[in-house]
C-alpha cells in the first residue's frame, strides 16, 4: 500500500486538523504535493505493470472529488492524469436508484446529511455504507490506510449484496474525467 503525508506548502486549517488529526509539524518534512503525486502515480504504474498491465481502475468513495484533487496535484508538477484510467465510485453506486432502495430498506436513509458542524454523519459517508454491508472500520478513520482498507471491504460488501456471484473486477468502471 502506498502512503505518505504531503506538505501542502501552507498552514493546515484547524478544521482539517480536527478531521484528520494532521498538524503542520507532522507535514514539515513531508514531500510537496507534486512530488507526492508523482510518487503515487509511479507506484500505481509499477503495481499495474507487475500484474501484467491492463486497465487501471481507481476506486474511491466520491471519486469525482479524488480524481479532481489528484489531477490538480499532478498539474502542480506539470504532469497529466494518464489517459485510459478508469474509476469506480462507491458513493455513485449507493446513489443509484436500485442500490438506493436496497440501502433504504436496510435503514440507511440517503437524503439527509450531517448537521454541517461535524456532528452526525452523512448517510452516504463511507462509514455509513460500510456499516450497511456489515463492515467494521479498523484503525483511525480519515487517515489513508484505514480509509483505504474500509473502502476495499465496503466495495466488496456492496458488490456481493447487489450483484451476487459477481466480483469487484466485473463491475463496470467509468473513464476518469473532471
Count of the separate structural domains present in the chain: 1
Of 158, 140, 161, whose CA–CA distance to 149 is shortest? Answer: 140
Sign, CA dihedral 146-152-155-160, equals negative
Residue range 3-37, pLDDT digits in tens = 888 898 999 999 988 888 899 999 999 998 888 87
Per the domain annotation, does 29 fall within a domain? yes
Which residue shows C-alpha cell 500505481?
44
Residue range 157-175, pLDDT digits in tens = 888 877 788 888 777 766 6
> Cα separation of 144 and 142, whole Å?
7
Predicted TM-score of the model (pTM): 0.69
Per the domain annotation, does 8 fall within a domain? no
Give every CB contact of residue 20 below 8 A, 6+ residues apart in sequence. Answer: 142, 143
Per the domain annotation, does 2 fall within a domain? no
126 is in which domain, residue-wise? Answer: 14-175
**Residue 93 belongs to a domain with what CATH number?**
3.30.420
Amino acid at each position: 500500500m502506498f502512503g505518505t503525508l504531503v506538505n501542502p506548502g501552507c498552514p493546515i486549517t484547524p478544521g482539517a486538523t480536527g478531521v484528520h488529526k494532521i498538524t503542520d509539524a507532522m507535514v514539515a518534512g513531508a514531500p510537496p504535493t507534486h512530488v507526492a503525486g508523482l510518487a503515487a502515480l509511479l507506484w500505481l504504474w509499477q503495481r499495474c505493470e507487475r500484474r501484467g498491465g491492463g486497465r487501471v481502475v481507481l476506486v474511491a468513495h466520491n471519486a469525482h472529488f479524488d480524481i479532481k484533487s489528484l489531477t490538480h496535484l499532478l498539474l502542480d508538477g506539470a504532469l497529466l492524469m494518464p489517459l485510459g484510467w478508469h474509476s469506480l465510485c462507491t458513493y455513485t453506486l449507493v446513489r443509484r436508484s436500485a442500490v438506493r432502495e436496497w440501502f433504504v430498506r436496510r435503514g440507511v436513509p440517503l437524503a439527509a446529511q450531517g448537521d454541517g458542524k461535524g456532528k452526525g454523519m452523512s448517510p452516504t459517508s463511507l462509514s455509513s455504507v460500510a456499516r450497511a454491508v456489515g463492515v467494521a472500520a479498523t484503525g483511525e478513520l480519515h487517515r489513508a490506510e484505514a480509509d483505504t482498507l474500509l473502502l476495499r471491504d465496503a466495495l466488496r460488501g456492496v458488490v456481493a449484496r447487489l450483484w451476487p456471484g459477481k466480483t469487484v473486477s466485473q463491475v463496470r468502471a467509468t473513464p476518469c474525467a473532471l
